[in-house]
Amino acid sequence: MQETKTNIVFKDGNKKQAEFIEAVMSGKHRILCYGGAIRGGKSYLLVAIFVVLCQIFPRSRWAIFRKDLKRLRRNTRPIINKFIEGSSVKVNESEQTFTFENGSMIMFIGENYDKDKELEHMKGLEVNGIGGEEVSELTNKWFKKSIERSGSYIIPPTKDDPEPNQPPPITILTCNPTQTWVKEVIYDRWKNGTLPAEYFYLPAYVTDNPYIPASYIESLKSLPIYEYKVFVEGDWDVVLKTENGFWHALEMGEHVTYADYDPHTPVHVSIDANTMPYCSATFWQVYPESKRAVQIGEATATHRDEKDETSTDDNHAKGLGRVIIDYLDGIDYNDTVIVYGDATTKNQNTIDEAKRSFYYIVVEELREKYTYISRIGTKNPPIVETGEFVNALYSGFNGWKLTINEQCKVSISDYFSVLRDMDGKMLKKRTTNEQGVSYEEYGHMSDTKRYFFYEALRSVYYEWRDRYSEPSEAVSIGIDDNLFD
């Protein structure tokens, strides 16, 4: 490729792209991420960087990944075509490789996780660096494997080049705001100032791209407000509704809003005993006369962050009890606490030497400051029926209105991310954290919601079930009374 092509890369770039390129070339970072909104020039920059690296390091090898090869052909191929047009770059159409005159190569590879859960096709991959295009589509397993494989190729010496210039291993990512592993691993740590030195993150927006017409930017204002916040303003805390969501009647603009605590109304807390990624608690207030139910807060008892020496292990029953008390203290609550939750939390626990249940340990903490009423049934309610019951409440069944406090970020993320399987049950997909621990990422806050509404609005549930649903064998009466009768 002619040298003028390299100059074009920098000449056509914007200030944000130039800043990112400088970070890549500095050699200070091994993992770099660029993005945060649409049309910030992410794809163009990713390809440009690898074209430049091919020229700087003769006979080097680089790979660009996306969810599948189809997306790379459709979205990334036209970009690399602009760089190689009129050059001597050799293109292998069947394998989607681009070989430069100096022997360097760029490979397009699909992750294809659906067909290759173990990513076997990456195990023998030898490259100097890897790029991930729209990494919100890619798995955390791919990310770890990419770090492992970057730098695995050592450029061999030749007679003409006995001491080849070896590039440092590098992984470059592009993305839009996402609730996947990217947020936890990169964005959240960047935001709170704990991103390791080997990482680099640079947000880029459509307004940073001087080649986007003002008319297009203006047209984006017609997007739904929450899509505008995510894709234009780059707000990582907003969660968009997904297809096939378990809570399909939940709407961000209608049900998620400001909701304050009423000191004159009882507080209900619903708990879930799952320990990874956290033990869960949601806080609710119910107004039966006006048929309103409000989630006012949430609490999570998390595991210790290995990268934060000040953190502690709280993802256990005692820790959950403590964070529940912390929340109640924070709102100056001093009345009776009504407790809901997973029926299995009342089972004896062999991990505890006294065989105390998860529930017992939680309320043992609570009783130090509060009186409480248990509303946990003998069996867990049916998943499909209770899910559809709450969806009916979201849709205004019998005049009810549900509201989620917009400050409940973990709950909102859970509610909008958890999916429904073919049987209508909650599909809890598993993920793996940086320590190699596998766990269900979403569904825990959602379970606390099901437990709460099944018990707190039992008579409303029966009315809905009798009108719209076939009785389920899994339904357990649990308790006969209704809190509001």
Per-residue pLDDT tens digits for 396-415: 999 999 999 988 989 998 99
Asked if the model's pLDDT at residue 224 lies above 70, the reply is no
Residue 275 lies in a domain: yes
Residue 287 lies in a domain: yes
Same-domain check for residues 193 and 100: yes
**Cβ atoms of residues 62 and 129 within 8 Å:** yes
Same-domain check for residues 152 and 90: yes
Instruction: Supply the pLDDT for residue 469.
Output: 58
Per-residue pLDDT tens digits for 311-323: 455 778 888 889 9
Question: pTM higher than 0.85 for the full model?
Answer: no
Residue 245 lies in a domain: no
Residue 350 lies in a domain: yes
Same-domain check for residues 203 and 263: no
Instruction: Supply the pLDDT for residue 312.
Output: 52
Range of the domain at 48: 3-214
Same-domain check for residues 357 and 424: yes
Residue 480 lies in a domain: no
Same-domain check for residues 362 and 454: yes
Same-domain check for residues 284 and 207: no
Query: Who wins on pLDDT, 229 or 58?
Result: 58
Same-domain check for residues 311 and 434: yes
Same-domain check for residues 115 and 189: yes
Cα(390)–Cα(375) distance, integer angstroms: 18
Same-domain check for residues 22 and 96: yes
Lowest model confidence (mean pLDDT) among 114-128, 164-178, 349-363, 458-472: 349-363
Count of structural domains, the chain: 2
**Neighbouring residues of 354: CB distance < 8 A, sequence distance ≥ 6:** none
Per-residue pLDDT tens digits for 404-454: 998 898 999 899 889 888 888 898 888 777 667 788 888 999 999 999 999
Same-domain check for residues 125 and 35: yes
Of 184, 214, 244, the residue at which a domain comes to its end is 214
Of 160, 190, 214, the residue at which a domain comes to its end is 214
Instruction: Supply the pLDDT for residue 152.
Output: 96
Query: What's 35's domain CATH number?
Result: 3.40.50.300
Mean pLDDT of the chain: 85
Query: Who wins on pLDDT, 236 or 194?
Result: 194
Residue 229 lies in a domain: no
> How far are the Cα atoms of 5, 77, 108 from residue 81, in angstroms, in the given order?
12, 6, 13
Residue 259 lies in a domain: yes
Residue 37 lies in a domain: yes
**Cβ atoms of residues 166 and 152 within 8 Å:** no
Instruction: Supply the pLDDT for residue 348.
Output: 62
Asked if the model's pLDDT at residue 480 lies above 50, the reply is no
Residues paired with residue 97 on neighbouring β-strands, in sequence order: 92, 107
Same-domain check for residues 330 and 443: yes
Q: What is the DSSP string of 394-449?
A: HTTGGG-EEEEETT-HHHHHHHHH-EE-TTSSEE--EEE-TTS-EEE-SSHHHHHH
Instruction: Supply the pLDDT for residue 232.
Output: 82
**Neighbouring residues of 355: CB distance < 8 A, sequence distance ≥ 6:** 348, 349
Instruction: Supply the pLDDT for residue 258.
Output: 85
Per-residue pLDDT tens digits for 330-388: 999 999 999 998 888 777 664 555 667 788 888 888 888 899 999 988 888 899 999 99
Same-domain check for residues 39 and 175: yes
Q: What is the DSSP string of 262-310?
A: -TTS-EEEEEE---SSEEEEEEEEEETTTTEEEEEEEEEEEPP-TT-TT
Query: What's 445's domain CATH number?
Result: 3.30.420.280
Of 214, 236, 260, the residue at which a domain comes to its end is 214
Per-residue pLDDT tens digits for 12-56: 567 888 899 999 999 999 999 998 777 778 888 999 999 999 999
